[in-house]
Amino acid sequence: MKVSMTVNGRPVEAEVDPRTTLVEFLRKHLNLTGTHVGCDTGQCGACTVHLNDRAVKSCSVLVGQAQGAAVTTIEGIAEDGGLHPVQAAFREHHGLQCGFCTPGMVMMAIDLLRNDPAPSEATIRQQLQGNLCRCTGYHNIVKAIQAAAATMAATEPAPTQMKEQLA
Amino acid sequence: MNATVIGKPIKRREDERFLRGQGRYVDDLRFPGETHAYFLRSPHAHARIRSIDTSAALAAPGVLAVFTGEDLKADNVGSLPCGWLITDVNGEPMKEPPHPPLAQGKVRYVGDHVAVVIAESYLQAKDAAELIEVDYEELPAVTETARALAPDAPKVHDEFADNCCYVWEIGDKAATDTAFERAKHITRLELVNNRLIPNAIEPRAAIALYSPGEDRYTLYTTSQNPHVIRLLMCAFVLGLPEHKVRVVAPDVGGGFGSKIFHYAEEAVLTWASRKVGRPIRWTAERSEAFLSDAHGRDHVTTAELALDEQGQFLGMRVRTTANLGAYLSTFSTCVPTILYATLLAGQYKTPHIHCQVTGVFTHTAPVDAYRGAGRPEATYVVERLVEQAARELGLSPSEIRRRNFIPKEAFPYSTPVGLTYDTGDYEATLNRAEELADVAGFAQRRQEAAKRGKLRGLGYATYIEACGLAPSQIAGSLGARAGLYESGEVRLHPTGKVTVFTGSHSHGQGHETTFAQVVADRLGVPIEDVEIVHGDTDRVPFGMGTYGSRSIAVGGAALMKALDKIIDKSKKIAAHMLEAAEADIEFDNGVFRVVGTDRQVTIGEVAFAAYVPHNYPLEEIEPGLNETAFYDPSNFTYPAGSYICEVEIDPETGKVEIASFTAVDDFGNVINPMIVEGQVHGGLAQGIGQALLENCVYDPDSGQLVTGSYMDYTMPRADDLPSFQIDMHGTPCTHNPLGVKGCGAAGAIGAPAAVMNAVLDALRPLGVTHLDMPATPHRVWQAIQQAKQQQAA
Ligand code: FES
Ligand code: FES
């Protein structure tokens, strides 16, 4: 079957087995290996990407379901060679150790902050339920997300404002 | 030391690639012509293999080869070796059954490797595996530790009389028994240390390639110690010449012990890569990881503490049965013996200790080192006993510990279980922990919780760890079949840039930063000029790898030795360049200077002279500036700490919440506090996971793994944990050049006892006096109901 979509802003097209999951498509066909696979039951979140600007577990999405969609992966969030504020905050606050859960965590965190630009610690912890990290004990991930929220609030209009401005 | 880099929370240099999705984990690598392997695993806990018919699988689309244990046997493939020989109390060596990489004759646990299918695609390999017809004669199985030695327990290995691998002991039994006879009080506990599944988030993976032109193999594998894998695989399993095999462990997504061991898949893929003539790749599915990664812990213990009327410890007696699983994994045998019983003195001056450990075979996955390896088990025994004794004697948990701590003047201190602690200040860490945890305000918090209908409890654990297992000669006399040194190579390039090769391996610990700090500090060069290389047997001279929190204490010390050699040689070169006597040259912050003058050359200039030796003492020394060192420590290092956990329990649901967790550790000198704190956080999460959530369960009748996925095995998630309160109080290690102790396992060692002591403190008013881990809502609720019934009766 033939699929086409936009990945990190670039149109892609490929002939694939319909059983292919989105994560396999990203990793094997597009060689975007930043998105990881940590389980086979949709529970670790290592494979989290954005599908039309919403976080999804790409192991639980068939590539056909992404037909025509805009997909963003960890490789596509930094602009102009710099780091996205969430990436920068993870580095600044040591929110990663082995780095395996990290792409999924970062993609989840960006989504979380998009929906709630100033989340409490409890909200962050609850929103991260679907992302496992075995290294950090989550302590510094939570700190990093809080810090990213603060920087983003200081430098960017909140998404709702943004929408209003666009409208 | 250059105060600008050592002890500073330098941001990690490896983060950039991980954050951008540019990490290179095994599964990210691609090779032209690669094929895919699928391992067919045993669905039975115990069965005889009557026959295997692979013909239909071989004929399936895309299939290139199918191999079974018979094929390996026909090719003289050996057994997966065990790295530590334990001697039984009867003087005989432990029972050491063969461990074929693919089962021969019998399968002995659910997940045991039966056959491998190699095909053009993974799905083709997996589909074809379903066509393999294995005729099994199912046999009864035993999975439970406490039942392994029952007279009617099915035998795991027919060649032995029973399921006992060894009975081992340490300490003076007679003296300990006498101490118990004199005791005014004896505290006794029956404890189960729950079985855990390590669950690094990156599943195990391997890719094997054979290059006929060079007659050379390359194995990419998710390993914490690639040189060890190469040695074991070449010398014991495949009989390959070591110089013809390269093992690479690139970025590795967490290990926690589970990636130390030499696994069947590594040997099978390497062997098959030559047969198939193309690269072969394999990545474990998570469900395979649950079945086949070596598990951790799994002890059943009876422990007793003898005390006098003042609450002074007179003696400790411990009997432990440790589940080793169906086969002996690489370091399985030393974990519940050498790494466990030697730690039973804890932070205390208990004069007499005797411990007997029985290692047993069961029809379960092999059990081996998991974060802390033996030390969490020991700490759990000691700290549960101590706190229980405090309750029984009416002492506070703080007071009973203080009465028994090894005082700081007593170091070096030799314990009755074979270790000599070099330094420590246990009162200091406890004081700081009590202050941080606001122990003084606890009574009020408890009252306030009671008003809300909640039970609040406070629990302590003061742990000791032994890191950097050493020295090799003593370990050898205790049965180690390997050395325990580390290697380091420092290469100054002609331009003054530095490449460092370490035998340690980072799979999250941040060596590329910490080790660079050590090197930059010693050489006085910018940290950006230093690159750390690890994880490749073709690039690094040798290495024992990373486990047991040994990297900085042993690997860092090896680098210091190599750096000393660099500086010694550089001084000679500098003396020549400055036309001065070597004795008059001093080195500080990257500059060699003639003492008392302003005549100087930089280390960069020295490096250039070493490679362009025009003005150089060639008759005295060789050109070049590249030095290698091996460091074999003279002793373990002994990190220690005081942990205090406060919990709140809802008696209606049994749910335990961690209200706060305080950890104050003594890691000696700290190179990068940010990274060290991160290590503590991760360890705490695993320790709290063990205490409250995680439990590996086999069905005792069928031997099936009940907790075989993230739906059944409860991993700690972000909302299960609090933010932690952490501090450090360091007494520098006295016998390594950096004064460091190691920090990787601390949290996992101290946390379980602290949490369980807190849970029991909360439940004690209801009459609950004992609980095993994990303290799940169900268990807590049941304990509450039982206590209620007992009190009503
Ligand atoms: S790989 Fe998608 S949730 Fe685990
Ligand atoms: S950083 Fe290793 S799993 Fe999260």
Q: Is the pTM of this model over 0.90?
A: yes
Q: Which of B496, B488, B486 is closest to B518 using CA atoms? A: B488
What is the rounded CA–CA span in Å between residue B168 and residue B318? 12
Measured CA angle at B44 (ends B41, B45), to 5 deg: 105
A137 and A102, same structural domain? Answer: yes
Name the minimum distance, in Å, from the CA of B755 to any CA of chain A: 16
Q: Does A137 touch chain B (CB under 8 A)?
A: yes
Q: What was the pLDDT predicted at A156? A: 63
Listed residues A44, A76, A108: the one ending a domain = A76
Q: Coil, strand or helix: which one is B189?
A: strand
* CB B595, CB B584: distance < 8 Å: yes
N-terminal to C-terminal alpha carbon distance within chain B: 68
A44 chain-B contacts, CB cut-off 8 A: 201, 286, 710
Q: What was the pLDDT predicted at B3? A: 53
Q: What was the pLDDT predicted at B537? A: 94
ipTM > 0.90, yes or no: yes
- Let me know how long chain B is: 793
User: What integer is the mean pLDDT of B747-772?
Assistant: 97
What is the Å distance from ligand 2's center to B295 Cα?
Answer: 19
What is the rounded CA–CA span in Å between residue B735 and residue B254? 29
What is the Å distance from ligand 2's center to A35 Cα?
Answer: 13
**Torsion sign (Cα): B4, B635, B179, B757:** positive
A12 and A55, same structural domain? Answer: yes
Q: What was the pLDDT predicted at B509? A: 87
pLDDT at residue B289 tops 90: yes
| Secondary structure string (H, E, C) spanning B316-368 | EEEEEEEEEECCCCCCCCCCCCCCCHHHCCCCECCCEEEEEEEEEECCCCCEC
pLDDT per position as a tens digit, B241-286: 999 999 999 999 999 999 999 999 999 999 999 999 999 999 999 9
Assign domain B31-139+202-253+259-292 one CATH number from 3.30.70.360, 3.40.50.2300, 3.90.1170.50, 3.30.70.370: 3.90.1170.50
What is the Å distance from ligand 2's center to B253 Cα?
Answer: 7
pLDDT at residue B434 tops 90: yes
Listed residues A38, A58, A76: the one ending a domain = A76
What is the rounded CA–CA span in Å between residue B34 and residue B207? 9
Considering chain B, what is the average pLDDT of its residues? 95
Please tell me the CATH code under which domain B296-414+422-469+635-792 is placed.
Answer: 3.30.365.10
What is the Å distance from ligand 1's center to A40 Cα?
Answer: 6
Q: Is the residue at A68 inside a domain?
A: yes
A6 and A70, same structural domain? Answer: yes
Q: What was the pLDDT predicted at B592? A: 97
What is the rounded CA–CA span in Å between residue B487 and residue B504? 8
Nearest chain B residue to A138 by CA distance is B718
Name the minimum distance, in Å, from the CA of B641 to any CA of chain A: 18
* CB B682, CB B747: distance < 8 Å: yes
Q: Is the residue at A138 inside a domain?
A: yes
φ, ψ for residue B572 (rounded to 5)? -65, -45
**Torsion sign (Cα): B433, B438, B440, B446:** negative
User: What integer is the mean pLDDT of B48-62?
Assistant: 98
Strand order in the sheet with A48-51: A10-15, A2-7, A70-72, A48-51, A54-57
User: What integer is the mean pLDDT of B524-544?
Assistant: 93
Counting beta carbons within 10 angstroms of the beta carbon of residue B161, is it exposed (0 to 12), middle (13 to 18) or buried (19 or more)? exposed
What is the rounded CA–CA span in Å between residue B661 and residue B645? 5
A43 and A7, same structural domain? Answer: yes
pLDDT at residue B96 tops 60: yes
pLDDT per position as a tens digit, B719-754: 999 999 999 998 988 888 888 888 889 999 999 999
Q: Coil, strand or helix: which one is B659?
A: strand
Q: What was the pLDDT predicted at B467? A: 85
Name residues whose C-beta falls within 8 Å of residue B161's C-beta, 6 or more positions apart in sequence: none
Residue B36 parent element (H or E): strand B35-41
Q: Is the residue at A63 inside a domain?
A: yes
Q: Whose CA is nearest to atom 4 of ligand 2?
A: A133
* Domain housing A38: 2-76
Contact A94 B675 (CB under 8 A): yes
Q: Is the residue at A165 inside a domain?
A: no
Contact B678 A91 (CB under 8 A): no
Share of chain B above pLDDT 70, in %: 100
Listed residues A76, A97, A130: the one ending a domain = A76
Please tell me the CATH code under which domain B485-631 is placed.
Answer: 3.30.365.10
* CB A5, CB A71: distance < 8 Å: yes
Q: What was the pLDDT predicted at B631? A: 86
A71 and A7, same structural domain? Answer: yes
Q: Does A8 touch chain B (CB under 8 A)?
A: no
* CB A130, CB A57: distance < 8 Å: yes
The letter for the amino acid at A121 is: E
**B718 within ligand 2 shell (Cβ under 6 A):** no
pLDDT at residue B714 tops 90: yes
**A134 within ligand 2 shell (Cβ under 6 A):** yes
Q: How many residue pairs from chains A and B have C-beta atoms closer than 8 A?
A: 176
Q: Is the residue at A167 inside a domain?
A: no
pLDDT at residue A165 tops 80: no
User: What integer is the mean pLDDT of B43-55?
Assistant: 98
pLDDT at residue B460 tops 90: yes
Q: Is the residue at A164 inside a domain?
A: no
What is the rounded CA–CA span in Å between residue B793 and residue B790? 5
Tokens 């039982």 sit at which residue?
B786
Q: Is the residue at A160 inside a domain?
A: no
User: What integer is the mean pLDDT of B384-408?
Assistant: 97
Contact B717 A139 (CB under 8 A): no
* CB B429, CB B642: distance < 8 Å: yes
Q: Which of B100, B499, B133, B119 is closest to B326 using CA atoms? A: B100
Domains contained in chain A, number: 2
A106 and A57, same structural domain? Answer: no
Long-range contacts of B70-76 (CB under 8 A, 24+ apart): B70/B104, B71/B102, B72/B100, B72/B101, B72/B102, B72/B104, B72/B268, B72/B271, B73/B100, B73/B104, B75/B271, B76/B239
Contact B18 A99 (CB under 8 A): yes
* CB B315, CB B194: distance < 8 Å: no
Q: What residue ranges do the domains of chain B occupy?
A: 31-139+202-253+259-292, 296-414+422-469+635-792, 485-631
pLDDT at residue B21 tops 60: yes
Q: How many CA atoms lie within 13 A of B626 on its CB side?
A: 11
Q: Coil, strand or helix: which one is B389?
A: helix
Q: Is the residue at A91 inside a domain?
A: yes
Domain of A93: which CATH number? 1.10.150.120
**A39 within ligand 1 shell (Cβ under 6 A):** yes
The letter for the amino acid at B480 is: A
A94 and A64, same structural domain? Answer: no
pLDDT per position as a tens digit, B595-634: 999 999 999 999 999 999 999 999 999 999 999 999 888 8
Domains B31-139+202-253+259-292 and B296-414+422-469+635-792 share a fold: no
What is the rounded CA–CA span in Å between residue B793 and residue B789? 6
Closest ligand, as measured to the CA of B287:
1
Name the minimum distance, in Å, from the CA of B81 to any CA of chain A: 28
Nearest chain A residue to B21 by CA distance is A34
**A37 within ligand 1 shell (Cβ under 6 A):** yes
B251 chain-A contacts, CB cut-off 8 A: 98-99
DSSP B500-547: EEES---SSS-HHHHHHHHHHHHHT--GGGEEEEESBTTTSS----S-
